[in-house]
């Protein structure tokens, strides 16, 4: 099982964090009673700028239906761009992959985005499609693990993993809760596609050696969406770092031990850019230094948290600018609603 390529795609509209803060202050107006608190929250997330699906002035008074229509159009366009680039990098034609897995938690469509891409990109009419909704931030890692499962079953095939997250379209005007104020400073928009190949395929790539999924019972209220006629409202408990600290270290040890490895054998870490508290909590839980997660911190700074696409952006950053020497062991991981985690053991 091998990762052949990773490619990202972003909307054309990019704004600095200062521009976004000013826009939110105008958007909420007198509802923001403590301007300094909002500015500090947005500054403390460590994000310098983010991409948005639409020009910032178009977000005023969007209904759920209007926002979802924009999600469908933009997700299809960015998804097509990311998949095309990933196929080109892997040296594949559009009709070669036998499966496509699509993950997102920021919009809904039927037929799903993967179905819309079959004709648009000329994918095989016999391609198997697996659209996944609801996994949130963990879905990039989970989708990659399910892609590995696919090519384990079909070792002569290729599979596409596509993540598109347009977090800006979930903005809730009447929600001034701390969770929503933080999320409006943290989340951005983007897409990423990965091509995974089975062991019988000849192309070289990053090996996927093993995966581990872990679900933590009775934590369903820690993170997710509260969905109403107004759309998606963020659920984000301050206890998330505590859940991570209590569980992820043991999950990692279990994955490594069954492969005859220890933490000292891991030379590269590719972890979801959940935000400063999440990254520091993960560092503490795994006994890592901030430098060990430099790729994650860099992606957080450049583009914010892209939910399921985030860990795939960190994977792309690692491949393009921080590629380990051949033979290096690596851990790719993310966490999300459930609460749950997915870890993958890689070898370069």
Residue positions annotated with a catalytic role: 137
d(CA 232, CA 64): 8
114 Cβ neighbours under 8 A, 6+ residues apart: 79, 100, 101, 102, 129, 130, 131, 162
- Record the tokens describing residue 194, joined without a space: 């990965």
Using CA atoms, how far residue 178 sits from 175, 233, 235, 279, 291, in Å, is 9, 12, 10, 19, 29
Token pair in block for residue 319: 């491949």
Parallel/antiparallel/unpaired status of strands 158-166 and 189-197: antiparallel
Distance of CA 25 to the CA centre of its chain: 27
What dihedral angle (degrees, nearest 10) is formed by the CA atoms of 236, 306, 16, 51? Answer: -130
Angle between helices 276-286 and 294-303 (to 10 degrees): 170
Q: 10 Å Cβ neighbour count for 39?
A: 18
Ramachandran class of 137: left when φ > 0, alpha when ψ lies in -120 to 50, beta otherwise: alpha
> Closest Cα partner for 310 from 44, 285, 318?
318
């Amino acid at each position: 099982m091998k990762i052949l390529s990773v490619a990202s795609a972003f909307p054309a509209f990019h704004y600095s964090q200062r521009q976004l803060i000013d826009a939110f202050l105008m958007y909420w107006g007198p509802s923001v009673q403590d301007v300094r608190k909002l500015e500090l929250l947005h500054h403390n997330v460590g994000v310098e700028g983010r991409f948005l699906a639409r020009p910032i002035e178009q977000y005023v008074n969007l209904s759920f239906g209007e926002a979802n229509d924009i999600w469908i159009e933009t997700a299809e366009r960015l998804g097509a761009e990311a998949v095309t680039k990933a196929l080109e990098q892997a040296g594949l034609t559009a009709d070669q992959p036998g499966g496509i897995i699509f993950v997102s938690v920021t919009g809904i469509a039927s037929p799903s985005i993967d179905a819309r891409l079959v004709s648009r990109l000329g994918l095989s009419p016999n391609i198997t499609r697996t659209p996944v909704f609801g996994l949130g931030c963990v879905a990039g890692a989970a989708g990659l693990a399910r892609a590995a499962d696919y090519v384990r079953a079909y070792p002569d095939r290729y599979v596409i993993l596509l993540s598109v997250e347009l977090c800006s379209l979930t903005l809730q005007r009447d929600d001034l809760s701390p969770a929503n104020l933080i999320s409006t400073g943290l989340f951005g928009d983007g897409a990423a596609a990965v091509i995974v190949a089975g062991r019988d395929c000849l192309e070289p790539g990053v090996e996927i050696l093993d995966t581990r999924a872990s679900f933590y019972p009775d934590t369903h209220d820690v993170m997710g969406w509260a969905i109403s006629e107004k759309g998606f409202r963020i659920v984000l408990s301050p206890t998330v770092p505590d859940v991570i600290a209590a569980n992820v270290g043991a999950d990692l040890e279990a994955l490594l031990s069954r492969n005859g490895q220890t933490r000292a054998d891991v030379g590269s870490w590719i972890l979801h850019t959940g935000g400063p508290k999440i990254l520091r909590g993960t560092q503490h839980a795994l006994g890592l230094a901030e430098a060990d997660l430099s790729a994650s911190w860099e992606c957080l700074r450049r583009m914010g948290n892209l939910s399921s696409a985030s860990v795939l952006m960190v994977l792309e950053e690692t491949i393009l600018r921080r590629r380990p020497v051949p033979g290096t062991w690596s851990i790719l991981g993310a966490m999300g609603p459930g609460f749950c985690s997915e870890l993958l053991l890689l070898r370069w």
